[in-house]
Amino acid sequence: MSDTIRITDLAEPQLSDLQQSIRSFGESLQVDLDADKILEEAKAEVSLEDFGPTDFLERLELLCDEWDNDPGLNNLGKTNLRAKLLLFARSRLLIHDLLKRHPEIHDVSIRAPIIVAGLPRSGTTHLLNLMAADSRLRALPLWESYEPVPVPGEAPLEDGTDPRYQRCADAWDMMQQTVPKLAAMHPMDPDHIHEELELMGPDFASYNFEWLCQCPRWRDHYYASDQTPHYEYMKTVLKILTWQDGDDGSNTRWVLKCPQHLEQLPVLHKVFPDATIAVTHRDPVSVIQSAATMIAYGQRMSRDEIDLASIIEYWSDRVLHLLHACARDRGKLPEGQSIDVPFHEFMADDIGMVRQIYARAGLPMTREAQAELQQFIDDHPRGKHGRVIYNLEEDFGVDPAQLRQRFDFYFQQFPVQAES
């Protein structure tokens, strides 16, 4: 792939023959975004009946209703969203069944995790993957986040591969064919270290659904709801993964990250009271142009018309909400358990910044750990899949300087450098 990538057809995508073919096939599909039918299908697929507490039904029904009545979504888009809901419903059945059979899982400890909280596209992914290269820390690979509990009786493939891993690999291969430039913006291969927010999916919670499809009704429901129960649910799934490793938590230290934490810092600290929280900071204008470009590019398969103005408005407001919450709540975190990570400092010396985070977390930077981190950097040079060139004004008709004024409060409170 070339060193630089400039996407010039965001508003009017020029589809390849393969993309056209997939889009045409999608239009032939009959899509039923009915919550009851999704749940019945999940039951049949894993031969289980009990979803556990039923409070999730309201949230599932809201998602189905909002997506089903979105006039801009085409059938392919709705098919993919339905598949995601079905996967979460399957996982919920498997999680609840495992907990019933092994109640001792609840006694597993999640000990002093290191958690990254920061804007999307602000270096959080690189920071997480870098620390995940440290063999002393446990991280969450994408394939495991999608299906945290195996289907009972599902045998490994002939070569010994976990079928969950293979399903994730197949999905990544298809994504690379349908939206090939996504790899340069956000790799999603099976071994990629992912956000633990995926583990809230079976509880049909989190802001993650907004990344799948703009859904203002869902967003408003999320804003109005206490997220503590969903963070507790996610923590329970982390206990399951720890238990599946054969540990009671005493030998496992997790490294985690998610942008949503930025607007849930009190909840995050409440659920993980001994966590060290690294809060990343970056010019929100750079964040918005990167996120909006990625979302607009991804919509070429799920929408017949792409509304760039709507995308930039939605995500500008979304980032504003994240940062207002961060500005309000950052000081509530214990000073000895939190650290700010300015993007420009992290990019200038990433291992040096990890060293500072480790010091705050009481984790020594050993010679072995530094070698593992350096090996990751050597194996994953910046721009490995190409470097996307963003242009907010040309692509979205937005003046960066004018947009940046909305975030004056953030620049005043945190060590953030404006980017060109």
Determine phi and psi for 281, rounding to 5 degrees: -135, 135
| Cβ within 8 Å of residue 400, ≥6 positions away | 285, 289, 392, 393
- The per-residue pLDDT for range 220-247, each reduced to its tens digit, is 999 999 999 999 999 999 999 999 999 9
Q: Please tell me the distance from the alpha carbon of residue 278 to that of residue 118, in angstroms, as a whole number.
A: 8
DSSP state of 138: B
- Pairwise CA distance, residues 89 & 67, whole Å: 17
Mean of the per-residue pLDDT values of the chain = 95
CA distance linking residue 112 with residue 253, whole number of Å? 7
Total count of residues recorded for the chain? 420
Which residue in 372, 388, 370 sits closest to 380, CA to CA?
372
pLDDT of residue 82: 98
Going from N- to C-terminal start, the domains of the chain cover 4-29+110-149+163-413
Predicted local distance difference test score (pLDDT) of residue 349: 96
Residue 286's nearest CA partner among 388, 407, 395, 420 is 420
CA-based end-to-end distance of the chain: 25
Residue 158, token pair as written in the block: 């002939």
Please say if the pLDDT value at position 386 is more than 80: no
314: phi then psi, degrees, rounded to nearest 5: -60, -50
Distance separating alpha carbons of residues 116 and 339, to the nearest angstrom: 10
Per-residue b/e over 241-255, b at no fewer than 16 CB within 10 Å?
bbbbeeebbeebbbb
Q: Which residues contact 148 (CB under 8 A, 6 or more apart)?
A: 91, 95, 199, 237, 240, 241
**Would you say 159 and 315 are in contact if contact means Cβ atoms under 8 Å apart?**
no
Listed ranges 5-9, 121-125, 364-368, 381-385; the one with the highest mean pLDDT: 364-368
Neighbours of 213 (CB within 10 A): 22
CA–CA separation, 109 vs 293, rounded Å? 40
Q: Which residues contact 350 (CB under 8 A, 6 or more apart)?
A: 126, 127, 130, 377
Tokens 């990167």, residue located: 290
* Whether residue 209 has pLDDT greater than 80: yes
Give the percent of the chain with pLDDT over 70. 99
Give tens-digit pLDDT for 112-161: 999 999 998 888 999 999 999 999 999 999 999 999 999 999 999 999 99
Confidence of residue 182 (pLDDT cuts 50, 70, 90): confident
Amino acid type, 274:
D
Using the predicted structure, report yes or no on whether residue 385 has a pLDDT greater than 70: no
Quickly state the pLDDT bin for 383 (edges 50, 70, 90): low
Average pLDDT (408-412) is: 98
CA-to-CA distance for 291 and 315, rounded, in angstroms? 8
- Buried/exposed 145-157: b ≥16 CB within 10 Å, e otherwise: bbbbbebeeeeee
For residue 1, pLDDT over 50 is answered with no
Percent of the chain scoring above 90 in pLDDT: 91
- Tokens for 338, please give them: 């939190």
Q: What is the mean pLDDT of residues 271-275?
A: 98
Task: Note whether 199 and 237 are within 8 A (CB).
Answer: yes
Residue 411, Cα to own-chain centre: how many angstroms? 25
Structure confidence at residue 75 (pLDDT) = 95
State residue 382's pLDDT score: 76
Instruction: Kindly report the CATH number that applies to the domain delimited by 4-29+110-149+163-413.
Output: 3.40.50.300
Secondary structure class of 256 (helix, strand, coil): strand
CA angle 374–357–246, rounded 5-degree value = 80
Tell me how far apart the alpha carbons of residues 9 and 12 are, in angstroms, rounded to a whole number. Answer: 5
